Amino acid sequence: MAVDRKVTVDGIRSWVRSSPGTHIWLLIIGITSLVIASASEGLESFLLHRTGSNIHELTKHPLQSLLISGFWIADPSSFLLYAALFELVHANVERWLGTARWLVTVAVAHIAATLISQEVLLMAIESHSAPRSMKHVVDIGVSYGLAGALGVLVYRVPRPWRWLCLAGVVLFFAVPLTTGGTFTDVGHAIALGLGLACRPLTRGRPTWAAPGTARTLVPAAVPEAVRQRLSGRAAPGRGRCRPRRERPSSRPPRP
């Protein structure tokens, strides 16, 4: 039992160490979510508007707005959902591409999708299709980065399953645009497209094993000793079964 617990702890530690950027980002979001959850209604409204990347904030504090808006979520109760998505999407992309390439993908998707979607909203305001109050709309969150990471993660799926996965992802983000989508839906579609455009960053990186092929399910980041235990092979010299020693024969040698 103690061995199993140690294996689990070592596996979790290795997983976190293999995707440090994802888990540091998630930790910051957890802290900001606690701030929002414990704030008064007035303070909550101020923080969500002040840290957002809406038209008003982008005009006055462009760099600050683009950076800070990626560390807040509007509804703290959805933190567990985002935590699961981070582990499924961001952590896998970071382990696969490396922290630097993952960060480039996420940053490009978040920044470009924010700027373009807000420009679309500004055009709607100027054409009187949207009220002027939308310049101060709450626009925070990590969904653009997630959409971009999901786009590049498609290339880790082996063919022909990749095309089925791509069709499902595109359909998921395209349906809201055809049913009266908002500027946020436009941003998600742009972020997904930018993630798909990051295909050059995946060169030289292996894909997942195709269904039906034999490959260990133990993550590569798990230490060798732990992997051997998980896969049912004891480390050399540490198993209970030892090679039987040959006893000297009592029979006299043949002439």
**Dist CA 193 CA 184 (whole Å):** 14
User: Mean of the pLDDT values across residues 203-208?
Assistant: 80
Residue 1 pLDDT: 60
**The pLDDT value given to residue 188:** 94
**Whether pLDDT at 96 is above 90:** yes
User: Which of 99-108, 125-134, 200-209 is least confident?
Assistant: 200-209
The upper half-sphere exposure of residue 136, i.e. CA atoms within 13 Å in the direction of its Cβ, equals 7
Task: Kindly tell me the number of DSSP H helices and DSSP E strands found in the chain.
Answer: 12, 0
Q: Provide mean pLDDT across the span 153-164.
A: 90
pLDDT of residue 129: 85
CB 199 within 8 A of CB 155: yes
| Cα angle, residue 206 at apex, residues 18 and 189 outer, rounded to 5° | 80
Amino acid at site 88:
L
Q: What is the pTM of this model?
A: 0.76
| % of the chain beyond a pLDDT of 70 | 78
Burial 120-156 (b: 16+ CB within 10 A, else e): bbbeebeeeebeeebbebbbbbbbbbbbbbbbbbbbb
Q: Of 145, 192, 148, which is closest to residue 171 (Cα–Cα)?
A: 192
Q: Tell me the one-letter amino acid at 94.
A: E
pLDDT at 218 over 60: no
What stretches of the chain adopt beta strand conformation (E)? none
Taking the C-alpha atoms of residue 166 and residue 248, their distance in angstroms, rounded to an integer, is 67
**Side-chain half-sphere exposure of 238, counting CA atoms within 13 A:** 10
Amino acid at 242: R
Q: How long is the chain?
A: 255
Strand ranges inside 11-88, DSSP E: none
- Report d(CA 169, CA 155) in Å as an integer: 12
- pLDDT exceeds cutoff 60 at 145: yes
Residue 229 has a pLDDT of 46
Candidate ranges 74-78, 204-208, 232-236; pick with highest mean pLDDT: 74-78
pLDDT given at position 212: 54
The pLDDT tens digits for 43-64 are 888 888 888 888 988 988 889 8
| Residue-level pLDDT at 252 | 52
Q: In terms of pLDDT, which residue wins out, 48 or 245?
A: 48
